Amino acid sequence: MTKSFCYARRPLPRLRLVVGAALSIALMSAANAADGVAAPVHDHGSATAKPNASPLVDKVRRVTARYVDINAALRDGFVQATPCVSGPNDGAMGVHFIKPERLHDGELRGDEPEMLIYEPRPGGAFRLVGVEYLVLASEWAAKHAPGVAPSVDGHLANFLGEPNRYALPALFELHVWAWADNPNGAFSDWNSRVSCEPQAAS
């Protein structure tokens, strides 16, 4: 399966990467607002999903329930950060929408995920499938004692070096598939039941 994202060819200085990512997010938000792409149809399919059970999964469902309607997420300041991200072998992550002000706080909070993840559906709809927590490694280290591992409600985050799919410096991330069952586990990066095919076909 072809990946839907590209890695940066040359690592840039950290400041340029962060500024570049913020600029890309702002430009994408403005472009989407201008052409109507940022206001897709609401897909009710995720509301009936029965994902893997866990206290963190339950918390994510509570704090993101209103975002089953993607228009509510857009109104609350989430902006598209990636195209649909396909897996290297099977499945996908989906389209990531980020809340920019949460990116640089150096923290991971269970009730404040940095990103919402949507699966593209036919007709321009998006189905909420989960969230991703994300913190830059340098910003976590600046706010925590050495040896304190980044975690969300007891679940250790995964390290992602650079270059990476977000064109950001090294970071820690954790996916929570709160709105779509994942045979690979509720905290796996890739979900074999999520697909980017509807987006590719549009």
Q: Where are the domains of the chain?
A: 14-201
Residue 93 has pLDDT above 70, yes or no: yes
The C-alpha atoms of residue 123 and residue 173 are separated, in whole angstroms, by: 31
Confidence of residue 35 (pLDDT cuts 50, 70, 90): very low
Q: How far is CA 157 from the centre of its chain?
A: 14
> Both tokens of residue 197?
């095919």
For the segment 170-179, the average pLDDT, to the nearest whole number, is: 97
> Both tokens of residue 122?
């036919």
The C-alpha atoms of residue 102 and residue 130 are separated, in whole angstroms, by: 17
* Residue among 108, 70, 98, 78 nearest 168 (CA): 98
Mean pLDDT for all residues in the chain: 79
| 84 dihedral zone (left: phi>0; alpha: psi -120 to 50; beta) | beta
Residue 161 has pLDDT above 80, yes or no: yes
Q: What pLDDT does 171 receive?
A: 96
User: Phi, psi (5° rounding) for residue 42?
Assistant: -75, 130
Q: What pLDDT does 14 receive?
A: 37
The C-alpha atoms of residue 29 and residue 25 are separated, in whole angstroms, by: 6
Residue 33 has pLDDT above 60, yes or no: no
- Residue 201 CB neighbours (<10 A): 8
Convert 104-139 to b/e letters by CB count within 10 Å (16 or more is b): eeebbebeebbbbbbbbbeeebbbbbbbbbbbbbeb
Confidence of residue 201 (pLDDT cuts 50, 70, 90): low
Confidence of residue 164 (pLDDT cuts 50, 70, 90): confident
For the segment 140-163, the average pLDDT, to the nearest whole number, is: 96
Residue 146 has pLDDT above 50, yes or no: yes
For the segment 185-190, the average pLDDT, to the nearest whole number, is: 95
* Residue among 177, 176, 160, 157 nearest 168 (CA): 160
Residue 27 has pLDDT above 80, yes or no: no
Between 38-52, 57-71, 127-141, the lowest mean confidence (pLDDT) is in 38-52
Residue 44 has pLDDT above 90, yes or no: no
Total residue length of the chain:
202
* Residue among 97, 100, 31 nearest 64 (CA): 97
Confidence of residue 18 (pLDDT cuts 50, 70, 90): very low
